[in-house]
Copies of this chain bind each other. A is one copy, B any other.
Amino acid sequence: MFADRLAGDAARIQAHFDQVLAGLDALPVAQAMAYATAGGKRLRGFLVLEGARLHGVGPERAIWPACAIEALHAYSLVHDDLPCMDDDDLRRGRPTVHVKWNEGTAVLAGDALQALAFELAAHEDCGPAAVRADLALSLARASGARGMVLGQALDIAAEEAPAPLSLEQITRLQAGKTGALIEWAACAGARLAGAETAPLARYAGALGLAFQIADDILDEEGDAEKAGKRLRKDAEAGKATFVSLLGLEGARSRAKELAEAAEAALEAYGAQADPLREAARFVISRDS
């Protein structure tokens, strides 16, 4: 069962975070780091662990980049929720970090989580030095001003733009904002094995976009309680979303096409890649 597999990987990731964060000074910033890395679907960490398995790399090595990408994702959420960014007070059904502590602690905890992400990606237990250098460098590129931060900067710029974004523009924005980290997660297993990343990058490109379209659909018709966060903020602010651009039915069918394209990209891996195929179906059918 896919849900069991995802839950098993999520538990493994949580246990590793518990170890990694143990022994930090008992300060609010350390408590906030643990809080921000707890919970969530762990989809990115799952992609690392399953992509690694596909290449014969076990969890004792893959858990490091799996936690690295989850730490990086957590930092991005903590900073994105700040009053000067999206100003969200609810995340995963709980108060956001700056609400529970304060803004200064949220800035610092996010900063420390980003550093932690690179500490985990370059960790000695990931494998040979060539792999560790490759993981750290590719993670830096995926998360910086040509990757995730570019997507967030385009998102901010869109708020001040005279007209809502076009489909092409929002696709580029999302390729940075969510796509870059999802691609890194899907490819990390191949990097651990020193293998070709191209098939998994194709898979991730389609998966990431399907994920974002599904997010926009959930934002339109989802249940705020299940989602654990405020919904319909983008639509109310007049921002373009895949739903506003394609309509609800158009968005649904585009997400389905993309999930099928993601599955098709895994052909060379055979049945071994079934968990990743199920992940593609999961991202467009989830209710939170």
Residues in chain A within 8 A of chain B (CB atoms): 24-25, 27-30, 33, 75-76, 79, 82, 84-85, 102-105, 107-108, 110-112, 114-116, 118-119, 121-124, 128-130, 132-134, 136-137, 139-141, 143-147, 149-150, 152-154, 156-157
Q: A103-B84, A118-B118 are in contact. Are A112 and B144 (CB under 8 A)?
A: yes
Q: Which of B33, B85, B139, B157 contacts A118 (CB 8 A)?
A: B139
Q: Are B140 and A129 in contact (CB under 8 A)?
A: no
Cβ-defined contact, B136 with A118, below 8 A: yes
Name 19 extra pairs, CB < 8 A, besides A111-B114, A129-B132, A136-B136. Answer: A28-B157, A29-B150, A79-B111, A84-B107, A85-B104, A85-B108, A111-B111, A112-B144, A115-B147, A115-B149, A116-B145, A118-B118, A118-B139, A119-B144, A124-B137, A129-B130, A129-B133, A129-B134, A132-B137
Identical subunits present:
2
Contact (Cβ within 8 A) B137 A123: yes
Inside 8 A of A103's CB, which chain B residues have their CB? 82, 84
User: Given A114-B115, A122-B122, A137-B122, does the pair A145, B102 have CB atoms closer than 8 Å?
Assistant: no
Quick check: A156 and B25 within 8 Å, CB to CB? no
**B149 near A108: Cβ-Cβ < 8 Å:** yes
Report B-chain residues with C-beta under 8 Å of the C-beta of A129: 128-130, 132-134
CB nearest to A153 among chain B residues: B29
- Beta-carbon contact of A140 and B122 below 8 Å: yes
Could you pull out 27 A-B pairs where Cβ atoms are within 8 angstroms? A24-B145, A25-B145, A25-B154, A27-B153, A29-B150, A29-B153, A30-B145, A30-B153, A105-B156, A107-B107, A108-B149, A110-B111, A111-B114, A111-B149, A112-B144, A112-B145, A114-B115, A115-B140, A115-B143, A116-B140, A118-B137, A119-B140, A122-B136, A122-B140, A129-B133, A132-B136, A136-B137
Q: How far is the CA of A103 from the CA of B82 in the complex (A)?
A: 10
Q: Give chain B nearest CB distance to A127 CB in angstroms.
A: 10
Question: Distance (Å) between the CB of A194 and the closest chain B CB?
Answer: 11
Q: How far is it, in angstroms, between the C-alpha of A143 and the C-alpha of B118 when the chains are bound?
A: 10
Taking CB as reference atom, which chain B residue is nearest A126?
B133
A141: nearest chain-B partner, CB-CB:
B119
Which of B136, B139, B140, B157 is close to A27, meaning CB atoms less than 8 Å apart? B157
